[in-house]
Amino acid sequence: MDVFWYALVGLLLAGYLALESIDFGIGMLMPFADTEAGRVRMRRAIVPRFLANEVWLVAFGGLLFGALPVAEGELLRALRLPFLAVLCAWFLRDGALWFRPAYEGARWRRTWDIVLSAASLVLAAGWGAVLGMLVRGLSVGPDGHSVAAAADLVHPFTLLCAALAVAGCLRQGLLCAARSLPEGNPVRVGFGRLTRVLTPVLLLLPLLVVVAAAVVTDAPVVVGVVGVLTAAAVYASDRVQATGRTGAALLLGAAPLVALPVLVGAVNGTTVLATHSGQGGLELSRAIADSGSLTLLAAIVLPALVPVTLGQFWFWRVFTGTGMQPR
């Protein structure tokens, strides 16, 4: 059962990244909208859904605290600087979405458009970098605890994972934004060209991650399987998109974001917080909560997952078709 709770925590994070990848991508694309109506349209692609998507992040944090309390403390301690950057970007991104329409001034709105774009980029790259460091393993500080050192932050594998997350989010944003624009619209045409550029990039990046992971991890075969499946999903997403089924293309296109948390568990197994040296890591047996807490979580959390998932599905069905319409 310990592995079940660990896997469920990872599933919630993967669900958040898959859903929010669209919002991160559209946020990064805000500068490409050349008219106020276009910028309003793109903002409204995010606003109806981002709070519902963040339910998954809140659930991830809550379950991490409840089921893996030791892991939460160690993760926040080891990754405090990257998490601080992600947290600040999260606040700024949400603030930009709410504050932009508060005043009519062009300078005010353009300022928040820039904040939205920059914060969305930091969020996508930050989550990719954090998960990349967890896959590779962290350094060990003088006190014997794991820590994200500067060398971990700028390691080529970390940067590749960050690039994979950014490219994946951009493509998701392009697909979602273009679906509600009329045929022949100049912005939609531009988004189509950018999508065609990003698709081969997203076919290459998972393979580069596989090559790098073969050097920095002890599970090259597992990483290879995940990388090939990710590239195959991106290719299938491109083929499906060509037939006009954007919803299915978005589902398959989330593979690069889902692959990163999957890699953490696939490479490190039951080591919740791995290190390069193998010293100072955190095993699942030490991170998991006591049996009484897990029993309480099972009685509360598991029954709630079904209505939450159904509610999320309904919310997307209602708002995905109308969220791009300016009002």
> Over the stretch 39-97, which tens digit does the pLDDT of each residue have?
888 888 888 788 888 889 988 999 999 999 998 888 988 999 999 999 999 999 999 99
Give yes or no for residue 139 having a pLDDT over 60.
yes
Closest CA to 121 of 156, 92, 152: 92
pTM of the full structure: 0.90
Determine which helix (DSSP H) or strand (DSSP E) holds 320, and give its type and residue range. Answer: none
Q: How far apart are CA 199 and CA 247, in angstroms?
A: 17
Q: Which residue has the tokens 């990388």?
A: 227
Those residues with Cβ within 8 angstroms of residue 149's Cβ, 6 or more apart along the chain or in another chain: 138, 139, 141
User: What's the confidence (pLDDT) of residue 170?
Assistant: 94
Average the pLDDT over 100-107 and give the result: 87
Give yes or no for residue 323 having a pLDDT over 70.
no
Average the pLDDT over 127-156 and give the result: 90
Q: Lowest mean pLDDT: which of 181-185, 193-197, 323-327?
A: 323-327
Q: How far apart are CA 133 and CA 127, in angstroms?
A: 10
User: What's the confidence (pLDDT) of residue 320?
Assistant: 62
Closest CA to 203 of 132, 255, 263, 247: 255
Average the pLDDT over 250-275 and give the result: 90
Q: How far apart are CA 119 and CA 126, in angstroms?
A: 10
Closest CA to 140 of 74, 45, 209: 74
DSSP letters, 258-274, are HHHHHHHHHHHTTEEE-
The residue extents of the domains of the chain are 2-318
Give yes or no for residue 324 having a pLDDT over 50.
no
Domain 2-318 annotated CATH 2.60.40:
no
